[in-house]
Amino acid sequence: MNRYPAWLNTLVLVVLMTGLLFALPNIYGSAPAVQLADADANPITQLQLENFVRTLESEDITPEASYIKDDRAVIRFLDEEDQQRAADRLRARYGQDNNVALTLAPRLPEWVRGLGLNPMSLGLDLRGGVYVLLEVDMDTAIGNRMQGYEQDFEDRLREARIRHRVDLNNGIITIRLTSADDLEAARRVVTEADAELLVADGTDGRSLTIRLTEQQIKDRQDFAIEQNMTTLRNRVDQLGVAEPLVQRQGVDRIVVQLPGVQDPTELEKILTATATLEFRLVDQSGNLPGTRSYPGRGNEQAQMLKREVVASGDEIIDARSGFTPEGQPAVHITLDSAGGERMLATTSENVGKPMSTLFIEWQQKDVMRNGQLESRRVKTEEIINTATIRGVFKNRFQITGLTPIEARDLAVLLRAGALAAPVFKVDERVIGPTLGQDNIDRGFRAIQIGFLAVIVFMAFYYRWFGMIANLALFSNLVFIVAVLSMLGASLTLPGIAGIVLTVGMAVDANVLIFERIREELRDGASPQAAINSGYEKALSSIADANITTLIAAIVLLAFGTGPIKGFAITLMIGILTSMFTAIIGTRSIVNFVFGGRKLSSLPV
């Protein structure tokens, strides 16, 4: 009685050894490191890595280790002084072609890395790093959408041969018609473009006013947030920053957390950059409707550009910095199918005519007004390149007229995608590794105290059965760390709180089992029957308690944000692993020690 089959004991042993293996990388800690990523997102080669290391060694900087991870070079050092010296040297030597970031890297032996094992990632509060809070300019997001409608209505009305004038002012589009007889036809044009728009008759009887519905405004705001979050993630990835966290906060704000990053200077510039491009034909006549003059940057001349946009930044699917055959810095552009078709049609009809590249950027500037410092959002539009169309092309071409650094930065921004609306920094905090390590020490001290208190109580109160429960409790902690490492989830301070709570819940299941065994013994059951009944009768109570807690954790994960999610994740993992260790794990040990033989009593 009370004997597990050999296959089940083997399964428990295999699960335990697997947990120990995946948890192993977490015992080595982390070290200061420098990470290099190719500016054009090309994989770093082993030859490049060797060149980086030789450059450092020539400056008497000896790395502790160097390797390639996720197509990026990671060079680890013994102390922060060597890390900073190495970063300065690598930026000076390779900064034009590579992004250099200060970070923390796990101090793993080569054989552990060879197995593909990684430690669980640590959140910003434990690892240190950069915290940036960005605000999305929702007015511009709505304005950009209305400008799209304005140009669309202009084209549709012209195709329908309806004489008109389209104006956009304060988020309201007004269509003025030459004849009142065209009113219904114009209304049909608008509703065909978007049937959800609010369309009203003007007071003069020959005009229409169009505005967005409340739902459309909300949808546009949500789109701007989601698009910007995707773009920001892409930009951080392009820079080679590992394990970034980008999430929404409230209606119009985005939180960016970059654990391990210690140098926010370049990151801030890339995160808040709102640069994009528009390709427009030059109006050589200077009298077409919608024509406007734009200044040139540097040596470029001001030009009168047509209103119609041939292609824009959101249609660029790839951008690489490089050089022309003549040695000029250039950005090599690849458009999507829609942009490529328009570019093909435009170049086919306009060979020999000039086309300009318009660079558009939003910036936040502080100005004095009435004796007070105010922050204003300024839109800059400059022509960076005007070239004559020499032949027909579609979705591949190049932009010149930039410096090498400008070409590289523009390629990064375009490749990562354009922001749906400008973002501006509201808050920035840099959490040093020292503070992060202090948080780690405090958190793990809390786990140790809780763990030791439970061990002492269980050993004193339940004797040898309590020691078995303590072994299962240790296994449970190993499994939690192993699962976090396998999933690549981040451990935060609230996550540590979830682990501490799990310790209590894990031992609670064994308390229910052991108390049931005691009851069976008091009722006169034999030791073997008491063990069997104790586990079977306590199972329903354990399942009920853990399932209700699991439901609460799922709700926290679904509706919570930030720290709450971290708590919920570790709590969920802890509940599932504790069910295994408290029921199957301890039963396996109890069966192995006490099962299958006659007993006069139980040490419980």
- Cβ–Cβ < 8 Å for 488, 569: no
A 10 A CB-CB count for 311 gives 23
Most trustworthy range by pLDDT among 50-64, 93-107, 241-255: 50-64
Confidence (pLDDT) at 294: 92
pLDDT tens string 204-228: 888 899 999 999 888 888 888 888 8
**How many Å apart are CA 536 and CA 583, to the nearest integer?**
10
Confidence (pLDDT) at 446: 76
**How many Å apart are CA 522 and CA 291, to the nearest integer?**
96
Domains of the chain, each with CATH number or no CATH: 6-24+434-594 (1.20.1640.10), 30-107 (3.30.70.260), 139-217 (3.30.1240), 219-429 (3.30.1360.200)
In the predicted model, what is the mean pLDDT of the chain?
A: 82
- Of 145, 144, 164, 140, residue with least CA distance to 154: 164
**How many Å apart are CA 251 and CA 225, to the nearest integer?**
8
pLDDT tens string 466-499: 888 888 888 888 888 898 888 877 777 788 888 8
**How many Å apart are CA 422 and CA 232, to the nearest integer?**
12
Q: Computed from CA positions of residues 373, 376, 382, 384, in that sequence, does the dihedral angle turn out positive or negative?
A: positive
DSSP H or E stretch at residue 374: strand 372-388
Strands 172-177 and 207-211: antiparallel
Instruction: Indicate whether this model's pTM tops 0.75.
Output: no
Tally the residues of the chain. 604
- Cα-based torsion angle of the residue sequence 339, 341, 343, 344 in order, rounded to the nearest 10 degrees: 160
Residue for token pair 């304060």: 170
* Better pLDDT: 265 or 321: 321
- Cα-based torsion angle of the residue sequence 108, 109, 114, 120 in order, rounded to the nearest 10 degrees: -20
Give the DSSP letter string of 34-89: EEEEETT-PPPPHHHHHHHHHHHHTTT---SEEEEETTEEEEE-SSHHHHHHHHHH
**How many Å apart are CA 159 and CA 161, to the nearest integer?**
5
- Cβ–Cβ < 8 Å for 133, 425: yes
For 184-197, b where at least 16 C-beta lie within 10 A, e where not — what string?
eebeebbeeeeeee
- Of 363, 140, 136, residue with least CA distance to 269: 363
Question: Which residues, at least 6 apart from 142, have a Cβ–Cβ distance to it below 8 Å?
Answer: 171, 212, 217, 220, 221
The crossing angle, in degrees rounded to 10, of helices 563-579 and 433-487 is 50
**How many Å apart are CA 448 and CA 246, to the nearest integer?**
32
Confidence (pLDDT) at 305: 92
- Cβ–Cβ < 8 Å for 322, 38: no
Neighbouring-strand partners of residue 203: none
State mean pLDDT over 433-448. Answer: 68
Amino acid identity of residue 141, one-letter, is A
Confidence (pLDDT) at 434: 56
The share of the chain scoring above pLDDT 70, in percent, equals 90
Question: Is the pLDDT reported for residue 266 higher than 60?
Answer: no
